[in-house]
Amino acid sequence: MSNYQLLLPQCTLLMGVLVLALFEIVDKKFHHYQGWVVHMIALSLAMIQQTLLYRLPASLYGTGGMILDGTTQLFSLSVLLLSILIQINRRAGKYSSQSQTAILTLGITFFSLFAIQSNRVLFSVTSVLAMIWLSHGVLATETKRKEESNLIYSGIIRGVIFLVVGTLLVTLCMSIFGESQMDEIQRVIVRGRLRQGPVFVVEVLILFLGALVLGAPPFGGLLGRARNHASWSLSMGLTGVFAIVGINIFIRWGLLVFTRPAIGVLELESLSGWNILTVIRVIAVVGLILTPLFAILDRNVRGSLNFFILNPFVQALFAASFGQREILGGAMAQVIVAVIIIGLLISSFQALDFSPTASLSQWVAMGRVDVLTCLSIILALSSAAGLAPFYGSYLMQKTLSINSAFAVVLLFNVVLSGFYVGRLITLAFQKGGLHGNFATVSRSQKIWFTVQFIALIFMGIFWQPLYKYGAYSIRQFFGET
C-alpha cells in the first residue's frame, strides 16, 4: 500500500471525466443516457473505493500532500453521496442531455475531494478555486442563453477574489511557518516561538475563507444569483457540496490545526493567543440567527431554501465550536444527515417540476395537490430545522447541555427555524392556491421519497450508529487509533 492509493477515487472520477469528454468529442454517436450511466458508474465506484479506504493504516496518513483520517473520510463520503443523489435526480431532468454539464459536475466532485483531502493549503485553495469556476460554468449552462456570459463573468470575479485571499493565506503560511502543510503548521505553532500577530492574520483568513465557502449568511455570496434559474439538483446540490467543503475548512484548517486535545483528552484547547474556538462560535452564532431569518424574509421558494439548507451545517459548526469530544462527534454526523436532507429536497422539488422562480403563493395548498411529496419536503425541512424526532434534535440537546450563555442563540435558531417550517406546513394545507402546472409524481418516485424520509426519521430515533461514526471520525485526532 502506498500513499497513491489515497487517490483511487479521484482517478476513477478523472476517468469518468475523460470518458464523458470522449462522448462530447464524438457527439451524437452516444445517447445522453449513456453519459448519465458513465457518470453514475464513476461516482458509485469512487464511493465504494472511498469507503474501502478506511482500511488504510494510520501510518500513511499525514506523510504526504494528501491526508485521509476519519474526518476527511466522512467529508469525502458526504460529498460523493451528495453527488450521487444529485446525479440520480438528473436522470429525467431536461438538462441531462448536456454532456458539458455532466463533465463540469463530475469535475466539481473531483476537485471537492482534493479540497477536502489535501494536506496543503495551497492545493486546497487551488481546488476550491476550480470548484468555483466549474460551478459557475455548470450553473450558466442551465440558464437563459443571454444570461450565460454575465454569470460566467460573475463567477470569474468571485473566483479571483477567492484566489487573492487564498494566495495571501498561502504566502503568509509559507513565510510564517515555512510550509503550507497543515500538520507542519500545527507543529510550528506548538513550539510557541512565533509572534502572535501573523498567526492571528492567518487564522482570520482561514475563518474568512471557511465562511465564504460554507456560504452561511452574511457570507453567502460565492455562488450568488447563478443558482436562481438552474435546475433544483444543481442549485441545491452545489450549495450542499460547497457547504461540506466549507465546514471541512473550519474543522480541518481551523480547529484541528490551531487547537489540540487538552489533558484528559476530552476537549480541545487553543494553541494560539487568539482562541479560535470562540471566534468560530461567534461566526456560527451569526449564522444561527441569519440563516433562518433570511429564509423567512425571502419570498422566493428557491431563494429561501438555498439559505435554509445551510441550517444543519451552521448548527453543526456551532456544536463543533465548543471543541468537546462528544459534541464534535455529533456535529460530524450531522453533515451526513444534511446530505440526505438536501437529496430528499432535490428529488421532491425536481419530481414536482416546481418552478425555480416560484414564490410562496405557489406553495399554498401544495399538500392538497400531492400530499406525499409535500410531506417529504416538509419533513426534510423539519429535519434541517433540528426538530424532534430528527437527528438535529439530538445534537441540539447535547449542545445545549454545555454550560454556555451562547445556548440561548441556539434556542432562538429553533424558534426562527420552527416558524419557517410551521409557515410552510400551514400554507401547504390551506384553502386556495394557484395550483400551477406541477408534474405528476410516479409511484416509484413516491416510494423513493418515503424511503428517504423514513430513513431521516430513523436516523433520529436510532442515532447511536450515526453518532458512533461521527465519533469514530474524530477519534484519531484525540490520539486513539
Partner 1 sequence: MKLRVITVLLGLLSFSGVAFFMAPASRELWVILAFLCFGGILVFDLYDQIASQWMNPIIFLLIYALILSAVLEVGVEGFWRDFAGAVFLVSLLFEQNANQWTGFGALRTTLTPALIFLMLVFAQSLPSLPPEVSYGFSLAALIMASYLELFCIFREGSASNAGSFMSALRVACVGVGALFYCSVFVPNLAHQMPYNIMSVVLPGIAVLIALFSAFLNHWRRRQTLFFCNWSLFIFWEALSGEDFRLYAAIGALLGGAWTVMMTLRDEIDPENYKQLYLKLSAWGIPGSFLFTMIIFGISPSQDELLRRGSALWVLSFFIFWAGLRGFKIPKERPSARPSWSWRESLALVVTLVGASLLAGVRILPTVFSDIWIRAGGIK
Task: CB nearer to partner 1: give 146 or 431.
Answer: 431
Task: CB nearer to partner 1: give 239 or 399.
Answer: 399
Other residues' Cβ atoms within 10 Å of the Cβ of residue 458: 14
CA Rg value for the chain: 21
Q: Which of residues 243-262 bind partner 1 (CB under 8 A)?
A: none
- In the complex, least distance from residue 251 CB atom to partner 1, rounded to whole angstroms: 24
- In the complex, least distance from residue 259 CB atom to partner 1, rounded to whole angstroms: 23
Q: Which of residues 415-434 bind partner 1 (CB under 8 A)?
A: 415, 418-419, 421-423, 425-432
- SS3 of residue 66 by DSSP: strand
CB 100 within 8 A of CB 141: yes
Tell whether residue 160 is a contact of partner 1 (CB under 8 A).
Answer: no
- In the complex, least distance from residue 304 CB atom to partner 1, rounded to whole angstroms: 15
CB 17 within 8 A of CB 110: yes
Ranges of beta strands (E only) in 251-396 are: 259-261, 268-270
Q: Which H or E element spans position 280?
A: helix 276-297
Q: Which three cell numbers stand for residue 429?
A: 394545507
- In the complex, least distance from residue 438 CB atom to partner 1, rounded to whole angstroms: 17
- SS3 of residue 462 by DSSP: coil
What distance in Å separates the CA atoms of residue 236 and residue 243, rounded to the nearest whole number?
10
Alpha helix positions (H), 391-442 = 391-400, 407-428
Tell whether residue 460 is a contact of partner 1 (CB under 8 A).
Answer: yes
Task: CB nearer to partner 1: give 349 or 390.
Answer: 390
Task: CB nearer to partner 1: give 53 or 340.
Answer: 340
**Which of the ranges 41-49, 51-59, 288-296, 375-383 carries the binding residues for partner 1, by CB under 8 A?**
375-383
CB 211 within 8 A of CB 221: no
CB 140 within 8 A of CB 148: yes
**Roughly what angle, to the nearest 10 degrees, separates helices 443-461 and 325-352?**
170
Find, among 254, 271, 253, 272, the residue nearest to 262 by Cα: 271
- In the complex, least distance from residue 335 CB atom to partner 1, rounded to whole angstroms: 20
Q: Of residues 63, 357, 361, 450, which one binds partner 1 by CB under 8 A?
A: 450
- In the complex, least distance from residue 458 CB atom to partner 1, rounded to whole angstroms: 8
**Which of the ranges 152-160, 213-221, 288-296, 370-378 carries the binding residues for partner 1, by CB under 8 A?**
370-378
Backbone phi, then psi, for 65, in 5-degree steps? -80, -15
Tell whether residue 58 is a contact of partner 1 (CB under 8 A).
Answer: no
Q: Which of residues 196-215 bind partner 1 (CB under 8 A)?
A: none
Tell whether residue 367 is a contact of partner 1 (CB under 8 A).
Answer: yes
Q: Which of residues 461-480 bind partner 1 (CB under 8 A)?
A: 461
Tell whether residue 40 is a contact of partner 1 (CB under 8 A).
Answer: no
Task: CB nearer to partner 1: give 149 or 401.
Answer: 401
Task: CB nearer to partner 1: give 243 or 421.
Answer: 421
Q: Of residues 91, 225, 260, 368, which one binds partner 1 by CB under 8 A?
A: 368
Q: Which of residues 379-418 bind partner 1 (CB under 8 A)?
A: 382, 387-390, 393-394, 396-398, 400-403, 407, 410-411, 414-415, 418
Q: How far is CA 133 from CA 99, 136, 291, in A?
A: 17, 5, 25
- How many residues of this chain interact with partner 1, rule: CB under 8 A? 44
266: Cα within 13 Å, side-chain hemisphere: 2
What distance in Å separates the CA atoms of residue 270 and residue 385, rounded to the nearest whole number?
30
Q: Of residues 84, 113, 378, 474, which one binds partner 1 by CB under 8 A?
A: 378
Other residues' Cβ atoms within 10 Å of the Cβ of residue 163: 16
Task: CB nearer to partner 1: give 126 or 291.
Answer: 291
Tell whether residue 289 is a contact of partner 1 (CB under 8 A).
Answer: no
Q: Is 451 exposed, middle or buried (0-12, 13-18, 19+ CB in 10 A)?
A: exposed
**Roughly what angle, to the nearest 10 degrees, separates helices 311-320 and 325-352?**
180
Tell whether residue 365 is a contact of partner 1 (CB under 8 A).
Answer: yes
- In the complex, least distance from residue 345 CB atom to partner 1, rounded to whole angstroms: 17
CB 246 within 8 A of CB 253: no
Q: Applying CB under 8 A, which residues contact partner 1?
A: 365, 367-368, 371-372, 375, 378, 382, 387-390, 393-394, 396-398, 400-403, 407, 410-411, 414-415, 418-419, 421-423, 425-432, 450, 454, 457, 460-461
